[in-house]
């Protein structure tokens, strides 16, 4: 049994490095912006956990390049992932804070409170807002220079406020991109999952969101149906978000649904990585 467990650990490290390599060499994202960010966060959490030396080498290269003109989706969550490291993060945490603040200047140069990802449509997405806020929250757990702490807290409050004010759809009980696509009725969890992880909605908003899912989403309405959009990275992040808001029953129902259907999906490095997160990752 021990030999089998050791073999599994080795396989999983290879899986995450393959998954990361696929994401890094993806010339044009094949998924929507929220889904792509959710995938990067899940892959990144695994990267930090299972291949920390490889992750640190990547981070040091990114921070030194200081490039803000050819942004990748990984840049939005990079600071938050670095903060997941143990003592190793302390060697470049100040540089990480500077990098994350520079990212906000690049994406919101007019200080509107809305971050614009100009290379993809729609340019304004709650997933971008939430990813930046989540990463800032993780950074603030470290002893940063006072000036960085003040800036991160101020910007975080602005982005949370503007996300709720401008991107919350009261009728749909969900976060939406700008401009709103009134014809799009596909219920995807990516935007809401990232918003929950960033603690953007209040408890009432989070419960309204869950109420909508209970009425319309496959894990609660059609648990026997394997819906691909509910078996990917966003579903795992929604599970973590529901737990964060102490909606544990719904979280366990979602986990049960996923572990019923995900093992039956076609083989891929993403599937293997997600299964490891569901089964082994400690929050």
**Per-residue model confidence as pLDDT tens for the chain (283 residues):** 444 444 445 557 888 899 999 888 875 555 578 889 999 999 999 999 889 889 999 988 888 775 555 788 899 999 999 999 877 666 788 889 999 999 999 999 999 999 998 766 667 899 999 999 999 999 999 989 999 999 999 999 999 999 999 999 999 899 988 876 654 545 679 999 999 999 999 999 999 999 999 999 999 999 999 999 899 999 999 999 999 999 999 999 999 999 999 999 999 999 999 999 998 876 5
CA-wise closest residue to 45 among 76, 15, 9, 77:
77
Alpha-carbon distances of 69 from 22, 107, 216, 225, 267, rounded to whole Å: 22, 10, 40, 43, 36
Structure tokens at 273: 């990585």
Under 8 Å between Cβ of 181 and 121: no
CA distance 22 to 63: 21
Q: How far apart are the first and last CA of the chain?
A: 26
CA distance 178 to 165: 12
CA distance 167 to 177: 6
124 phi, psi to nearest 5 deg: -110, 115
What's the confidence (pLDDT) of residue 60?
Answer: 84
Helix (H) or strand (E) holding 97, with range, is helix 93-107
Interacting residues of 131 by C-beta distance below 8 A, sequence separation 6+: 37, 41, 76, 77, 80, 194, 198
Q: Indicate the pTM of the whole model.
A: 0.91
What's the confidence (pLDDT) of residue 31?
Answer: 59
């Amino acid at each position: 049994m021990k030999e089998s467990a050791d073999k599994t650990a080795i396989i999983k490290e290879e899986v995450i490095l393959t998954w990361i390599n696929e994401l890094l060499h993806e010339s044009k994202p094949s998924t929507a912006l929220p889904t792509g960010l959710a995938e990067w966060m899940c892959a990144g959490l695994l990267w930090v956990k299972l291949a920390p030396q490889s992750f640190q080498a990547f981070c040091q290269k990114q921070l030194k390049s200081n490039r803000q003109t050819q942004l990748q989706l990984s840049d939005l969550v990079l600071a938050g992932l670095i903060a997941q490291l143990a003592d190793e993060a302390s060697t470049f945490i100040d540089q990480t804070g500077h990098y994350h603040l520079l990212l906000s200047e690049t994406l919101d140069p007019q200080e509107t409170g809305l971050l614009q990802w100009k290379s993809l449509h729609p340019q304004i997405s709650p997933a971008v807002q939430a990813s930046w806020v989540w990463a800032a929250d993780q950074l603030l757990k470290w002893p940063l220079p006072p000036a960085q702490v003040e800036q991160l807290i101020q910007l975080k409050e602005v982005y949370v406020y503007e996300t709720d004010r401008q991107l919350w759809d009261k009728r749909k009980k969900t976060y939406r991109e700008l401009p709103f696509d009134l014809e799009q009725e596909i219920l995807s969890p990516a935007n809401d999952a990232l918003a929950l992880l960033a603690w953007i909605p209040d408890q009432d908003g989070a419960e309204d969101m869950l109420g909508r899912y209970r009425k319309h989403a496959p894990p609660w309405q059609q648990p026997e149906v394997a819906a691909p959009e509910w078996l990917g990275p966003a579903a795992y992040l929604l599970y973590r978000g529901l737990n964060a808001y102490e909606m544990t029953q719904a979280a366990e129902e979602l986990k049960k649904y996923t572990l019923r259907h995900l093992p039956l999906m076609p083989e891929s490095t993403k599937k293997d990585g997600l299964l490891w997160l569901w089964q082994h990752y400690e929050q």
